[in-house]
Amino acid sequence: MSVITQYMVNQGVPQETVILILMLPIVATIIAFGRQVIGIRGFGIYTPLIITFAFLATGLKYGLAIFIVILLVGTLMRFLVRYIRLLYLPRMAIVLTAVALAILAIFLEGAYSGRKGLIASSIFAVLIMITLVEKFVVVQIERGAREAIILTIETLFLSIICYWVAASVWLRNLVFIYPFWIIFGAVIINILLGKWTGLRLFEYWRFREVIKRVDLPEKK
Amino acid sequence: MNMLAFLKKSKYVLGLNARNLNYLRPSNSLRAIRIADNKLLTKKILRKASLPVLQNYGLIRQIKELKEFDWSTLPSTFTLKPNCGLGGQGILVVYGRKKKFPYPWIKADGRPVNIKDLENHILNILEGTFSLTSLPDIAFFEERIKLLKLFKPYVYRGIPDIRIIIYNSVPVMAQLRLPTKESSGRANLHQGGIGVGIDLGTGITTTAIHRGRLIEYVPGARLLLKGLQIPEWKEILKLAIQAQIVSRLNFLGVDIAIDREKGLIISELNARPGLSIQIANLSPLADRLLRVKGLKIKNPLKGAKISQDLFGGEVEETLEEVSGKKVIGINEPIEIPDRQSGKYPTMAKIDTGAYRTTISTNLARQLGLNEAMRYKKVRGALGLEERPIIEFSFILDKKLVSTEAFIADRSQLKYDIIVGRKDLKQFLVDPSKNIFMSQRVLEKVKEKRGIK
């Protein structure tokens, strides 16, 4: 089964690339499971997915630090910019600029104190995280600060879980050796998840007062 | 064992997965959903079916139209809305207009709104800032609903509406949504509005939630949320069904508001109604939907009737439970606890015409209650006189009432004590109840009230 992956690596495709591509269905399945069965909403499937891969590229420590700085600066800027009334896109461009500056400052600090892991981290991972600021700001506008915080925490939680799964050596070996079984398994699980009509785990809590008051029909 | 019952019971509750897979997808065509998501289109098809909707004052599709817009056509009060807004976002309400130059409109919080502000807001709407899909949107001006007096104490600005979930032309659940200060005048529950369950049979409110938690009173006010009778309940149910038939959505949330002058108005259709209505009603949906599935409903009247019969609770029998007040008659047996922890039973006359309770001098002395706390001047039938006030408690219909009562000479009168309206706040008085009491009836009442 590993013939194809082996061949690709022999021909010069980086092993990391193959593994990450094969990790994608697994991470996506975890996110789908989190939504349908547990009830973690997060920001759809794209955001947690991309954060997971950004974390994989930068490492969890720096990834989280960058992520939190982006969120804080983005939110702060949103409130500052709100007072000068601007149209949406220019306003967002200003927020993005501020976030970019903050990231630059982080790298400056990394260079100053010689944090190799930070300054060597993939620029694309960091760029992707910066662009996510739009997503967070939009949620803040649409659903209010409280909901945005909850959704952000859920997204972060999901991404960290996915990071741990995708970073596990055992699983990395597994996808490399049995790529098709992994993909096949992911599809099957997702079909089952897509047909799942039971209550989500969080809904048992949300509707607990209703459930308690249900009168079961008496058996005769 | 308990866990098992919990799991079994949970099957009756409708979750998001089941709502999406079993009800939204199979029942609702994409075309119909698109209509419901589009406020202007919704209004158009509803108006065509001659159902009541709010009047439009003007709409702006492009920046060009904004530049040419004649601001003088706007009245002093209106709402400005995005066509495809999500969850009440992007709605601007003005309540009036200043008479001084530059004639700004006034927002809910009293701040002025100039034409420049309106232009800015409209530009944001056109850009799609508030839209469901972030695509360019249309802005429109709409008439503002005038608040019904009945709801006035319950809401913080904004207009309450009645959300009715309809499946297969039968209303299956309803709730009253009240805007709060926290929700800044919007009725949406996840913005912080209050959801109050409504009994489908009678239109009387039952239980309430705020932020997913059960509450009894309006936050910050001693105002009971249950027991409120929604006016024109049957008409509301019928109107909701008519809207559902026109919308061609088989599973739908219909929002109906009540205008002080125009009456019922369909304010919105919702193709993806939220599920917390189950908490507000403390009642599960899945079971109700199954009971309605496959029924053939010939007309709205029939649908409303079925809904009322199937899902109406036992509210009528338990008026006391709903209002949280006991229903008492004109003559009531009461008990007065005395100093020696004994109880003195007597008969009291319930008199809503009197403000304060009055106890006879003889009885007060007998119970050792004759130490006046203070005196108060009263203008009575005998002219101005000063009466002593004493504090004591009595038990009426199993409820302990603490009172500050007058002492007066009642030796010529039939009752030693009359209970005034100051002490009747926990009760409803039915004047046709207990008027003449034979010994037999009295025994019965006493037994019911727990007095030996």
Tokens at A166, concatenated: 């995708």
Q: Which residue of B has its CA nearest to A203?
A: B15
pLDDT at B6 over 50: yes
Q: Which residue of A has its CA nearest to B18?
A: A197
Rounded to whole angstroms, the Cα distance separating B206 from B400 reads 25
| Residue B244 near residue B254, CB atoms below 8 Å | yes
> Strand, helix or coil at B345?
strand
Q: Is B182 on the interface with A (CB under 8 A)?
A: no
Question: pLDDT tens digits for B119-145?
Answer: 888 988 888 777 766 678 899 999 888
A:B CB pairs within 8 Å: 84
Work out the mean pLDDT of chain B and round it to a whole number.
84
Structural domain ending residue among the three candidates B319, B352, B370: B319
| Residue B291 near residue B307, CB atoms below 8 Å | no
Q: Is B129 on the interface with A (CB under 8 A)?
A: yes
Q: Is A196 on the interface with B (CB under 8 A)?
A: yes
B191 with B268, same domain: the answer is yes
Nearest Cβ partner for A142 among B12, B89, B123 = B89
Question: pLDDT tens digits for A135-190?
Answer: 888 787 777 777 888 888 999 999 999 999 999 999 988 888 888 888 999 999 99
Nearest to B142 by CA among B71, B204, B55: B55
Specify burial of residue A84 (Cβ count, 10 A radius: 0-12, 13-18, 19+). exposed
Q: Does the distance separating the beta carbons of B8 and A211 come in below 8 Å? A: no
Peptide bond between residue B102 and the one before it cis (omega within 30 degrees of 0):
yes
Rounded to whole angstroms, the Cα distance separating B203 from B13 reads 22
Per-residue confidence band for B316, with pLDDT thresholds at 50, 70 and 90: very low
Give chain B's largest Cα–Cα span. 88
Work out the mean pLDDT of chain A and round it to a whole number.
87
Question: pLDDT tens digits for B157-173?
Answer: 788 999 999 999 999 99
Nearest to A217 by CA among B316, B12, B170: B12
Q: Does the distance separating the beta carbons of A203 and B15 come in below 8 Å? A: yes
Rounded to whole angstroms, the Cα distance separating A6 from A179 reads 11
Nearest Cβ partner for A36 among B10, B17, B214 = B17
Closest approach of A64 to chain B, Cα-based (Å): 29
Nearest Cβ partner for A200 among B12, B17, B190 = B17
Q: Does the distance separating the beta carbons of A87 and B124 come in below 8 Å? A: yes
Give chain A's largest Cα–Cα span. 78
Question: pLDDT tens digits for A96-115?
Answer: 999 999 989 988 988 898 88
Rounded to whole angstroms, the Cα distance separating B138 from B38 reads 10
pLDDT computed for residue B195 by the predictor: 93
Nearest to A74 by CA among A52, A60, A56, A93: A93
B166 with B315, same domain: the answer is yes
Tokens at A156, concatenated: 């972060």
* Helices and strands per DSSP (H, E), number in chain B: 14, 22
Closest approach of B268 to chain A, Cα-based (Å): 19
pLDDT computed for residue B1 by the predictor: 52
Judge whether B1 lies within some domain. no
pLDDT computed for residue A165 by the predictor: 92
Structural domain ending residue among the three candidates B85, B116, B142: B142
Nearest Cβ partner for A211 among B9, B87, B120 = B9
Q: Does the distance separating the beta carbons of B127 and A216 come in below 8 Å? A: no
Within 8 A of A197 by CB-CB distance, chain B residues are: 15, 17-18, 21-22
Judge whether B116 lies within some domain. yes
pLDDT computed for residue B182 by the predictor: 77
Mean of pLDDT values over A29-55: 91
pLDDT at B289 over 90: yes
Interface test with A, best of B4, B10, B92, B209 (most A CBs within 10 A): B10
Task: Read off φ and ψ for residue B214, nearest 5 degrees.
Answer: -70, 135
Within 10 angstroms of residue B344's Cβ, the number of other Cβ atoms is 14
Mean of pLDDT values over B330-359: 84
Q: Is B191 on the interface with A (CB under 8 A)?
A: yes
| Residue B91 near residue B267, CB atoms below 8 Å | no
Q: Which residue of A has its CA nearest to B188?
A: A143
- CATH code of residue B384: 2.40.70.10
Surface of B (259-278) touching A: CB under 8 A? 275-276, 278
Judge whether B2 lies within some domain. no
- Return the percentage of chain B with pLDDT > 90, whole number: 22
| Residue B142 near residue B43, CB atoms below 8 Å | no
pLDDT at A58 over 80: yes
Closest approach of B129 to chain A, Cα-based (Å): 7
B74 with B28, same domain: the answer is no
Structural domain ending residue among the three candidates B87, B119, B142: B142
Specify burial of residue B118 (Cβ count, 10 A radius: 0-12, 13-18, 19+). buried
Question: pLDDT tens digits for B10-29?
Answer: 889 999 999 989 898 787 88
Q: Does the distance separating the beta carbons of B5 and A216 come in below 8 Å? A: yes
B29 with B169, same domain: the answer is yes
Q: Is A211 on the interface with B (CB under 8 A)?
A: yes
B94 with B196, same domain: the answer is no
Rounded to whole angstroms, the Cα distance separating B20 from A114 reads 52
Question: Per the structure, how many domains does chain B have?
Answer: 3
pLDDT at B110 over 80: no
Tokens at B445, concatenated: 């009442």
Rounded to whole angstroms, the Cα distance separating B133 from B138 reads 13
> Strand, helix or coil at A189?
helix
Q: Is B201 on the interface with A (CB under 8 A)?
A: no
Judge whether B245 lies within some domain. yes
Q: Which residues pair with B401 in a beta bridge?
A: B394
| Residue B399 near residue B332, CB atoms below 8 Å | no
Rounded to whole angstroms, the Cα distance separating B228 from B210 reads 17
Rounded to whole angstroms, the Cα distance separating B118 from B92 reads 9
Specify burial of residue B268 (Cβ count, 10 A radius: 0-12, 13-18, 19+). buried
Within 8 A of A211 by CB-CB distance, chain B residues are: 6, 9-10, 12-13, 284
pLDDT at B94 over 50: yes
Judge whether B5 lies within some domain. no
Rounded to whole angstroms, the Cα distance separating B145 from B53 reads 10
Judge whether B295 lies within some domain. yes
pLDDT at A220 over 50: no
Within 8 A of A151 by CB-CB distance, chain B residues are: none
pLDDT computed for residue B43 by the predictor: 92
Rounded to whole angstroms, the Cα distance separating A96 from A130 reads 7
pLDDT computed for residue B440 by the predictor: 67
Residue type, B189: L
- CATH code of residue B305: 3.30.470.20
Q: Does the distance separating the beta carbons of B214 and A209 come in below 8 Å? A: yes
| Residue B292 near residue B171, CB atoms below 8 Å | no
Residue numbers of the domain that contains B356: 325-448
Helix H, strand E, coil C: the string for B175-199 is EEEECCCCCCCCCCHHHCCEEEEEC
Q: Is A89 on the interface with B (CB under 8 A)?
A: yes
B358 with B389, same domain: the answer is yes
pLDDT at A13 over 80: yes
pLDDT computed for residue B396 by the predictor: 85
Interface test with A, best of B1, B6, B14, B16 (most A CBs within 10 A): B16
Closest approach of B13 to chain A, Cα-based (Å): 7
- Return the percentage of chain B with pLDDT > 70, whole number: 91
Token match 């008199």: residue? B351
Q: Which residue of A has its CA nearest to B15?
A: A199
Task: Read off φ and ψ for residue B21, nearest 5 degrees.
Answer: -80, -40
Q: Is A144 on the interface with B (CB under 8 A)?
A: yes
